[in-house]
């Protein structure tokens, strides 16, 4: 049974609702969240008003032994984009919620004063959290665990969420985040400081024999995927060097595609050899792509320990802001984790300001000091000002779209799509499914809902409509993907990847993954597909699924997210990159110059994408 806990924050009433039929029809996780958001939040609602809903969804596989099935999806109308907002996080919160007997939470209305939602075997209750308000994520989480027990899993916002920074995160047991689209600000607007959960119930499966088989198959396939060993060793940092080789770093607010000293200073081996100590896993994950890391070298950051270096962290603080020192990058991430801010939007906002300052559009007097690329003191100071909404930080806390409308002449420096700061990779140097996703993602400028299962990390585009195959053509036959789609996307025999059609497929595939509650790391994304997920859902829930029905449900979920955005005023003209990508070339590796993108070609790809989705222009 799938139970939704509705917290009516104005009255303090808590209701349990059986939503098993909705979970069946919408796959669960992000699928359920999307349906609830569409129904609960009227068009035009201010994302920071009580009428917004903040929903947490945990898919049907979470809590079972299926590898990586631990993830939680959080969804609300985004205060950053004003559109569909959603973020996903691992750790142990999802399984804990399921062991407590719940799969979904909806925070509705606004509590009259700060509260914390506590869920355990005795039920759910709202507790006074006035004493926690104002604390950092670390302080609040420490305090909650001290009070309730260290086996509680805790989601908490920090000062950025309380101050309604439009890209505030919700932190998940300290280090993991629901990072993108500002859901921490929504939680802050509802006066909810934290959600704490512990459960001792069981997660049962409907067909034990089928489950045992599918469990073995999942472990075998994930571990046999060639990316498994690399992910275990480097985590997402495996991509750090290829991004530089391809001249696709987002250096200095997307004006530098490569740094001569990149691999030596900020590459994956620099991280591994100097800082990585041991592997760390989310619940039920055999990959363990995170790494406990420590700064051993003498200096101001000596002794700093953290949950490793993600490629996002090094791209945002190392490339976008040109911090050369990994300890300084760690420290900036640390600030974001403690204060509760999305790393990508925070770094993007600081990068925007530094470039505006360098262009003479804003003065040192207006900022309070002179910010510089690669200068830790000024960058960390700006992060703190944003989190506290003080001085120039109050403007940057609105995100670059809004800030650029306030600083005359700065709009061309605002690197966002649909109000969401774009991450980690420059599409001029790597026009692929990943960067095309900045345009098509229903949550705005972001790549994580559009990752190809045959991504080619070290090859540029063949032409705008075709991406090189990232695997041997013989592998395509083994790929878990409906055969009709293989021919549509790769051709027969496989020749390349049709980019607009792959974008649709990748989005639908990731929607399935985010619905059932698994992870999109390459060993999973590349080895498992709709057929596997259908059989896994069937074994666990006892309901009838097949690959085509699961895929169709995922497409319907994506369409509903799009419908939510259209209801808020989105149209095809919003599917554009910042002007810089169409108008300026990019200095790349070893003196290479990367040419700007063609507006016409990109627009044609968008038309192809709309056609593949069956949407009207």
Partner 1 sequence: MADRPQISCDAVKCTGCRICMLACSWVNTKTHNPRNSFIRVDVNEKNFACRILLDTEKCRRCLSCVSFCPSGALQAVEAENMQEGGRSNGCTA
Residues that bind partner 1 (CB under 8 A): 63-65, 67, 91-92, 99, 142, 150-151, 153, 173-175, 200-205, 208, 219, 223, 278-288, 292, 305, 307
CA angle 498, 584, 443 (to 5 degrees): 50
Q: Which is nearer to partner 1, 271 or 505 (CB)?
A: 271
Pull the structure tokens for residue 515: 């619905």
Torsion of CA 229, 458, 248, 604, to 10 degrees: -120
Residue 219: CB minimum distance to partner 1, A: 7
Pull the structure tokens for residue 574: 């919003």
Q: Which is nearer to partner 1, 69 or 454 (CB)?
A: 69
- Kindly state the DSSP code that residue 596 receives in the 8-state scheme: P
Among 327, 383, 334, 390, residue whose Cα is nearest residue 354: 383
**Chain centroid to CA 462:** 28
d(CA 30, CA 287): 23
Q: Which is nearer to partner 1, 38 or 219 (CB)?
A: 219
Q: Which is nearer to partner 1, 288 or 361 (CB)?
A: 288
Among 157, 192, 150, residue whose Cα is nearest residue 177: 157
Q: Alpha carbon of 546 to those of 31, 237, 352, 530, 551: distances in Å?
A: 17, 35, 47, 8, 9
Among 522, 468, 457, residue whose Cα is nearest residue 242: 457
Identify the three-state secondary structure at position 91. Answer: coil
**Chain centroid to CA 30:** 13
Residue 338: CB minimum distance to partner 1, A: 12
Residue 513: CB minimum distance to partner 1, A: 18
Q: Which is nearer to partner 1, 287 or 499 (CB)?
A: 287
Residue 609: CB minimum distance to partner 1, A: 37
Q: Which residues pair with 292 in a beta bridge?
A: 278
Q: Which is nearer to partner 1, 173 or 355 (CB)?
A: 173
Q: What are φ and ψ of residue 323, in 5° steps?
A: -80, 125
Residue 281: CB minimum distance to partner 1, A: 4
Q: Which is nearer to partner 1, 64 or 433 (CB)?
A: 64
Residue 264: CB minimum distance to partner 1, A: 28
Q: Which is nearer to partner 1, 107 or 137 (CB)?
A: 137
Q: Which is nearer to partner 1, 21 or 229 (CB)?
A: 229
Q: Which is nearer to partner 1, 141 or 164 (CB)?
A: 141
Strand 170-172 with 153-156, pairing? antiparallel
Q: Which is nearer to partner 1, 204 or 472 (CB)?
A: 204
Residue 137: CB minimum distance to partner 1, A: 11
The secondary element (H helix, E strand) that includes residue 334 is helix 326-339
d(CA 79, CA 379): 24
Residue 218: CB minimum distance to partner 1, A: 12
Pull the structure tokens for residue 598: 């063609």
Q: Which is nearer to partner 1, 288 or 556 (CB)?
A: 288
Identify the three-state secondary structure at position 569. Answer: coil
Residue 528: CB minimum distance to partner 1, A: 17
Torsion of CA 212, 236, 520, 211, to 10 degrees: 0
Strands (E) across 20-103 are located at 53-58, 72-77, 84-89
Q: Which is nearer to partner 1, 121 or 583 (CB)?
A: 121
Instruction: Say which residues have a Cβ less than 8 Å from residue 532's Cβ, sequence separation at least 6.
Output: 214, 217, 218, 221, 480
Residue 353: CB minimum distance to partner 1, A: 32
Q: Alpha carbon of 420 to those of 38, 328, 351: distances in Å?
A: 20, 25, 14
Residue 75: CB minimum distance to partner 1, A: 24
Instruction: Name residue, tokens 């195959």.
Output: 469
HSE-CB at 465 with a 13 A cutoff on CA atoms is: 15
Residue 491: CB minimum distance to partner 1, A: 37
Q: What are φ and ψ of residue 593, in 5° steps?
A: -115, 125
Residue 158: CB minimum distance to partner 1, A: 15
């Amino acid at each position: 049974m799938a139970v939704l806990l509705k917290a009516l924050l104005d009255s303090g009433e808590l209701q349990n609702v059986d939503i098993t039929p909705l979970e069946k029809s919408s796959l669960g996780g992000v699928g359920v969240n999307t349906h609830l958001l569409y129904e609960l939040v009227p068009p035009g609602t201010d994302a920071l008003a009580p009428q917004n809903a903040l929903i947490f969804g945990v898919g049907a596989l979470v809590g079972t032994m299926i590898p990586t099935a631990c993830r939680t999806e959080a969804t609300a109308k985004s205060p950053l984009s004003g559109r569909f907002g959603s973020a996903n996080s691992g750790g142990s919160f999802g399984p804990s919620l399921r062991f407590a007997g719940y799969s979904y939470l909806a925070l509705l209305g606004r509590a009259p004063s700060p509260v914390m939602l506590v869920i355990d075997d005795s039920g759910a209750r709202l507790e006074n959290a006035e004493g926690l308000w104002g604390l950092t994520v670390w302080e609040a989480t420490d305090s909650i665990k001290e009070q309730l027990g260290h086996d509680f899993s805790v989601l908490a916002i920090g000062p950025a969420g309380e101050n309604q920074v439009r890209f505030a995160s919700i932190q998940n047991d300290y280090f993991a985040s629901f990072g993108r689209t500002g859901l921490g600000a929504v939680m802050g607007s509802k006066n909810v400081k934290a959600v704490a959960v512990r459960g001792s119930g069981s997660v049962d499966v409907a067909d034990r024999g089928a489950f045992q088989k599918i469990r073995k198959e999942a472990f075998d396939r994930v571990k046999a995927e060639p990316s498994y060993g690399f992910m275990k060793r480097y985590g997402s940092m495996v991509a750090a060097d290829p991004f530089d080789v391809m001249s696709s770093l987002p250096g200095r607010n997307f004006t530098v595609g490569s740094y001569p000293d990149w691999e030596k200073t900020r590459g994956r081996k620099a991280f591994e050899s100097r800082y990585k100590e041991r592997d760390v896993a989310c619940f039920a994950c055999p990959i363990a792509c995170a790494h406990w890391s420590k700064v051993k070298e003498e200096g101001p950051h000596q002794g700093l320990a953290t949950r490793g270096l993600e490629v996002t962290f090094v791209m945002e603080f190392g490339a976008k802001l040109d911090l050369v020192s990994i300890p300084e990058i760690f420290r900036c991430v640390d600030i974001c984790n403690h204060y509760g801010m999305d790393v990508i939007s925070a770094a993007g906002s600081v990068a925007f300001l530094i470039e505006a300052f360098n262009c003479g559009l804003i003065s040192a007097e207006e900022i309070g000091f002179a910010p510089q690329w690669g200068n830790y003191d000024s960058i960390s100071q700006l992060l703190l000002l944003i989190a506290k909404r003080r001085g120039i930080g109050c403007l940057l806390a609105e995100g670059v779209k809004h800030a650029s409308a306030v600083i005359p002449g700065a709009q061309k420096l605002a690197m966002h799509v649909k109000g969401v700061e774009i991450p980690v990779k420059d599409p001029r140097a790597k026009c692929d499914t990943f960067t095309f996703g900045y345009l098509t993602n229903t949550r705005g400028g972001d790549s994580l809902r559009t990752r190809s299962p045959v991504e080619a990390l070290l090859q540029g585009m063949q032409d705008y409509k075709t991406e090189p195959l990232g695997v041997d053509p013989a592998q395509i036959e083994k790929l878990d993907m409906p055969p009709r789609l293989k021919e549509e996307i790769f051709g027969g025999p496989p020749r390349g990847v049709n980019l607009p059609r792959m974008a649709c497929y990748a989005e639908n595939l990731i929607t399935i993954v985010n619905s059932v509650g698994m992870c999109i790391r390459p060993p999973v994304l590349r080895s498992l597909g709709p057929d596997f997920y259908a059989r896994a859902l069937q074994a666990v829930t006892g309901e009838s699924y097949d690959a085509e029905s699961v895929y169709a449900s995922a497409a319907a979920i994506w369409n509903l997210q799009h419908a939510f955005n259209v209801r808020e005023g989105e149209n095809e003209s919003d599917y554009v990159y910042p002007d810089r990508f169409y108008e300026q070339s990019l200095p790349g590796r070893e003196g290479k110059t990367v040419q700007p993108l063609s507006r016409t070609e990109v627009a044609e790809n968008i038309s192809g994408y709309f056609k593949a989705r069956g949407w009207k222009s």
